[in-house]
């Protein structure tokens, strides 16, 4: 493929977004939640775990400990048992209980809605903060970069980076800010349903004409 100008790459990105919107009109956050606190906890639990497994696990957790204070004061062993199916339950228990304590003590029991404040919570890095801000609060502060977004964005030629922070920086330059949250949802859906890590389905891909990697993997 000939060298692509910045203007051409920007236009191609807009075309990709338009086609993905048409292909996945129901794209949204796959983690079940009723409020920002539940989304925050679910996102922390989703590390190294499928969203399906998290969604099977969180109902019992939130039924028993529905508020930050409830979770903060819960016996750690009980929390570990409830979230055990998500893996790495020792560290995840420390993270979600630590976040719950800080929310209860420092933010009057309300999940903060700014990036700097969210990043003060145990277990919360930029990816989790982006999920909460974009989905729970409707704020486009960044682009969520998970394994699907990293893989698909590189295949689409939207980035050559491997570090999530640098990938996000590249995508924030190309994707209109109002689309940052939705872009991640669309790409995640595409990664799960078509652009697989192994044997991507290029023949039925809605953006194969715009992808420099099409039919080459």
Q: Which residues are catalytic?
A: 127, 146
User: Which residues have C-beta within 8 Å of that of residue 111, sequence separation ≥ 6?
Assistant: 35, 36, 37, 40, 68, 103, 118, 132, 136
SS (H, E, C) 32-50: CCCCHHHHHHHHHHCCCCC
CA distance 111 to 5: 42
């Amino acid at each position: 493929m000939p060298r692509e100008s910045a203007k051409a790459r920007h236009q191609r990105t807009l075309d990709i977004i338009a086609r993905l919107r048409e292909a996945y009109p129901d794209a949204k956050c796959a983690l079940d939640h009723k409020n920002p606190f539940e989304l925050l906890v679910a996102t922390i639990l989703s590390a190294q775990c499928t969203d399906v497994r998290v969604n099977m696990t969180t109902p019992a957790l939130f039924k028993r400990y529905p508020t930050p204070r409830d979770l903060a004061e819960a016996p750690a062993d009980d929390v570990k048992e409830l979230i055990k199916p998500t893996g790495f339950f020792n560290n995840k228990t420390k993270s979600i209980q630590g976040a719950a304590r800080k929310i209860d003590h420092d933010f009057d029991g309300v999940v903060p809605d700014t990036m700097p404040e969210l990043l003060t919570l145990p277990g919360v890095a930029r990816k989790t903060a982006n999920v909460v801000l974009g989905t729970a609060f409707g704020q486009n502060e960044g682009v969520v970069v998970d394994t699907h977004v990293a893989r698909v964005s590189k295949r689409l030629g939207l980035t050559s980076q491997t570090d999530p922070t640098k990938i996000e920086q590249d995508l924030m330059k190309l994707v209109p800010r109002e689309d940052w949250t939705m872009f991640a949802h669309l790409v995640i859906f595409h990664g799960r349903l078509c652009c697989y890590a192994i044997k991507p389905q290029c023949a039925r891909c809605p953006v194969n004409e715009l992808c420099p990697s099409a039919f080459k993997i």
